[in-house]
Amino acid sequence: MLCQVPVVHLDPIFWNQEWVRTPTKMAQEIVRQHADQETWVIDGNQWVPLKDITYPRATDIIWIDPPFHVWLYRLLSRAIYKSFTIRGSLYRDFLNPKTSIIVQAYRLRKKKMENWNRMMSNDNRWQRQALEWLRAVDAFHSENLRSVQVLFAPSMAAHLEDITSWDTSLIARGGQGWAGAAEPTPSKIWHAARMRAFEFVALQVPYNVSKPNTMTTPAPAVHIDPARIIDEVDPRIYSGFTEHMGRCIYGGLYDPDNQHGLVDPMTGFRTDVIDALRELNIPLVRYPGGNFVSSYRWQGASFQNHGIGPKELRPRRPELAWLTEESNQFGTDEFIQWCRTLGTEPYICLNMGSGTLEDALAWVEYCNSSANTYWANLRRKNGHEEAYNVKYWSLGNEVWGPWQGNYFPSPSTLAPSRSLPSVGQMESQDYAKKAYQWAKALKLLDPNIKLISCGETGFSDWDRVTLRKLAPVVDFHSVHLYTVSEGKHAVNVMGPAAAEKGLEITRALIDLAKIEGGLCKELTVCFDEWNVWDPVRAPGEKGAEEHYDLSDALAVAAWLNVFVRKADIVKIACIAQSVNVISPIITSPTGLFRQTTYYPLHLFANLMQGTSLDVFVSAPSPSTFYTGPTVPKFVQDLTKHTPDAAKLTKYVDVSAVLSRDGREIRVALLNRHEEESFVVPIWFAGGSGSAGVEEEVRVYEVWSENLRDGNTFGEERVRSVERVVRFEGSYEIKRHSFQVLVFKLKEEE
């Protein structure tokens, strides 16, 4: 009994005596049997697996936030039960203050109360959240449903005083009755009158099931046809980038002096970093820059050892990009060995700043030649008999930028720039002539290499000029772009729309260059620097160590959706960077943690492989797309003058793939709206919502209550959570959330 109402305890149903979870179908069958009893209660924690069973039978539904002594009693009983059934649980889960679920629950309660204080003061946010819940109820209502109620403890009363805008709502306290409405009738789920013994504050919303739900604005719908393919998703779009900048190399992936058992003593590589990056299935890693490369002599001036040869002979040199000292303890051989350890391909950027064509040819010879020549023999002398066969080489880094050799906020961050002396900056025509000569010579030395030209944003005149000249001799055109938030979530998550529009322009510039040159060849985009980066929040000269929050994770998901949708033109994309510097992982001498941005990257790299499908998302009303300020501004301008169905700023942002075995459709579903959830119909191949797919769907979700939640050492508030749901044609996507839905296709009979 709880509040004099009979209760079916769900813990013994969903967990066996060894505290191992009962299979969902078995638990559902047990609940079906109990559902025929006179009175029963749903535990909110089990709402997802039980909603299809319980909602159709419900007469009254209550959203309840119980007072301290109610939930504490239940928590204590669970902890005591566990302590006597599982060895070691008594101390771990009950007595140890660091791991006790009682202490953790109390802290969580305190945190929730603080969040409520912020939420209640935010422009009627509580009403919007309650409406979201009511929409979910509406999707599963039964003909017997008489009322929907929201109950809160007295501590919430102050926050409910101003709820006056609902014509159908009322406030009741204690024994004061239900002013203006009939007394609630007893419920098979809860007896509302009993709850007044605990002096609940109650908001009652009379619910008329004979009328359509008028509180829900038209939701966007997702249309997926497996026959409408774009192209194969190239795994290289999930590539990485390491630069001699901040703590990316030293103290990041390479830390030979670490005293905490985290390095391989033979190589000095951080093993925990390698393990974390392996989970991302990184196919390609760019090196050594970045701005760093424009003054980097890989072999040293006058052929003196810098980044190769015995480490004790490698000199320390001033480093001009970030105005630090370079120890040269990590160089070409170490980078390629690190790549082999990680299981990824090396991608080297050539120095077109202070470097010469002779330097570039020597670098390719050192890495790739099997001949009896000077640089190949020097590689052998340094202990590496077999050629490395480095396939990917880029012709300089951001040669168009005056910051080469000196850092300042780059136009590629969509932020204002300022002039400083540069190392190697050139005008577009000059670069194109020089890069053409380099490309011809490099291909003569090794015809098997793939060359990447140095592009800008993909939508600049630099891109037009360089593509026109270099299209015959290169295999990829590089594009760089970073998005900034300016502290605003909408600006953050809508920023990647600039890349999407930019890629359409880049495609046209490539086509124009091929048409004018009479070329018939594959030439695609290498988007080898992209990320969320605010140079004011994380200055480059201070190591650019961004600490990301949930909003940033959602922006990364928006970026990756763009790359999947543009699978026919984007074949390589390198997140900048892979360790510590604007990175998905942050290290310390004693460990690391995965940033919020790690989890969408992990889901895409592991799930969004296969054939990219042409997804259409409807925009049935202005409330389903964003029209506010953007960075860059042209995204907002385009939105105003683009038909609704083609807008790049829809709140629901989607990409989809058909798995390589053809058995699954995987849908990356992003809700960019800060406040609103959407119940989104998902249509397959023009049929009804669930036609052609199995009902059971695996969901991987990245979400947190607070958009500003981030991760740190010992506490990861934002991560991916896996669950299984039943799909009946639509899916409710929470506000500010990202998820990947894995649908199994039905086998043809």
3 state DSSP class of 149? strand
Cα angle: 607, vertex 608, 614; to 5 degrees: 145
What is the rounded distance in angstroms from the CA atom of residue 67 to the CA atom of residue 83? 25
What is the rounded distance in angstroms from the CA atom of residue 367 to the CA atom of residue 343? 18
- 10 Å CB burial of residue 386 (0-12, 13-18, 19+) is exposed
Which residues are bridge partners to 525 per DSSP? 477, 570
Which residues are bridge partners to 532 per DSSP? 483
Helix residue ranges, H only, 221-331? 271-278
Extract the tokens encoding 134.
């009511």
What is the rounded distance in angstroms from the CA atom of residue 504 to the CA atom of residue 533? 23
Please name the helix (run of DSSP H) or strand (run of DSSP E) that holds residue 266, with its range, or none: none
Set 398, 546, 664, 676: catalytic member: 398
Contact 37, 6 (CB under 8 A): yes
- Asked about 529 being catalytic, the answer comes back as yes
Set 319, 326, 500, 529: catalytic member: 529
Report the DSSP pairing between strands 201-206 and 147-152.
Answer: antiparallel
- State the distance between the two ends of the chain, measured CA to CA, in whole angstroms: 50
Looking up tokens 């991560």 gives: 719
Give the Å distances, CA to CA, from 744 to 273, 549, 614. Answer: 34, 32, 18
- Asked about 345 being catalytic, the answer comes back as no
Contact 356, 303 (CB under 8 A): no
Contact 620, 609 (CB under 8 A): no
Extract the tokens encoding 260.
């905490």
3 state DSSP class of 118? helix
Give the rounded distance of the alpha carbon of 497 from its chain centre.
15
Helix residue ranges, H only, 226-288? 271-278
Extract the tokens encoding 587.
């290290």
Dihedral sign (CA 558, 417, 476, 280): negative
What is the rounded distance in angstroms from the CA atom of residue 628 to the CA atom of residue 620? 18
Contact 446, 475 (CB under 8 A): no
Give the Å distances, CA to CA, from 253 to 249, 299, 379, 598. Answer: 5, 22, 23, 16
Which residues are bridge partners to 223 per DSSP? 616, 683
Q: How many CA atoms lie within 13 A of 458 on its CB side?
A: 29
* DSSP-assigned letters across all residues of 464-528: HHHHHHHTTT-SEEEEEEEE--TT-HHHHHHTHHHHHHHHHHHHHHHHHHHHHHT--S--EEEEE
Q: Which pairs count as long-range contacts for 362-369, CB under 8 Å and 24+ apart, including other chains?
A: 362/299, 363/298, 363/299, 363/332, 364/390, 364/393, 364/442, 364/445, 364/446, 364/449, 365/445, 366/299, 366/308, 366/332, 367/332, 367/336, 368/446, 368/448, 368/449, 369/445, 369/446
Looking up tokens 């026959």 gives: 227
What is the rounded distance in angstroms from the CA atom of residue 400 to the CA atom of residue 445? 27
Give the residue from 137, 48, 116 showing the smallest Cα distance to 677: 137
What is the rounded distance in angstroms from the CA atom of residue 165 to the CA atom of residue 124? 9
Extract the tokens encoding 240.
């990485």
Give the Å distances, CA to CA, from 248 to 289, 537, 580, 586. Answer: 11, 18, 5, 9
Q: How many CA atoms lie within 13 A of 83 on its CB side?
A: 16
Q: Catalytic residue numbers? A: 398, 529
